[in-house]
Amino acid sequence: MNTLPRLNVRTAAELLRRPIAKQLSKLRRMKYPNSGEGAFMCPYYSPVKTAMRHHFKGDATALTTARAKIAQVALATRRDNLERALASFEDSPFAQRSLLPLPLVRDEATFEGISLKLSPDLRSLEEGREHYYYVNFKAEQVGPATAWHMLGIAQLVLTMNGVEVTPGQLHLVDLFDGRFYNGTTPLERVMPLLTQECREIREVWPEL
């Protein structure tokens, strides 16, 4: 199986944190998602993300309905994480914002032979401009470096698709520590790091 991976913006930024040689197990799970830790590609927090989008659409029962569905999740660890994530969103200042959600986009761009997927958690219309939101539901901090890399890579994918955005249209909400990131890392700082990452992935991929 030699097909190169399709990385979403979040994963591409996370892989920048450490040398690829120290992340071979993660890449192996990406290459063989149905073996070993098969939940790697599972949309783990999808019930919470769906509830978030419906909440912003004005559905007053979205969070209550999601909580009832999550209570029926059989696996205790996943159920606990989903309940924690939903509570984190509900208690956050972000949940109080007035947003007009738009349909999600599936923009992709091929960079150094690797397909990069935009994959935002939320897309909204604010003051006549589209905004793209990434939300961290995990029980761990994203970290400033990864956050800025995520937003920079997102801008790159949009630019390669002919969509011009200003830094103020890209956001990351970290529900773990309450930080709200607006803007991007300049592309001239992101692209060399991403170029090296993609080349290293191409080199190790056939041997995984």
The predicted model gives 39-64 an average pLDDT of 87
DSSP SS3 for 108:
strand
Q: 180 has which bridge partners?
A: 173
13, 150, 159, 184 from 165: Cα distances, Å: 19, 15, 8, 10
Measured in residues, the chain has a length of: 208
The predicted model gives 77-100 an average pLDDT of 95
Quote the CA–CA distance of 136 and 9 in Å, as a whole number.
13
Query: Positive or negative CA dihedral for 34, 79, 173, 120?
Result: positive
The predicted model gives 52-80 an average pLDDT of 95
Q: Answer yes or no: is pLDDT of 29 > 80.
A: yes
Q: Answer yes or no: is pLDDT of 40 > 50.
A: no
- Whole-model pTM: value is 0.91
Check residues 190 and 71 and name the one with the higher pLDDT: 71
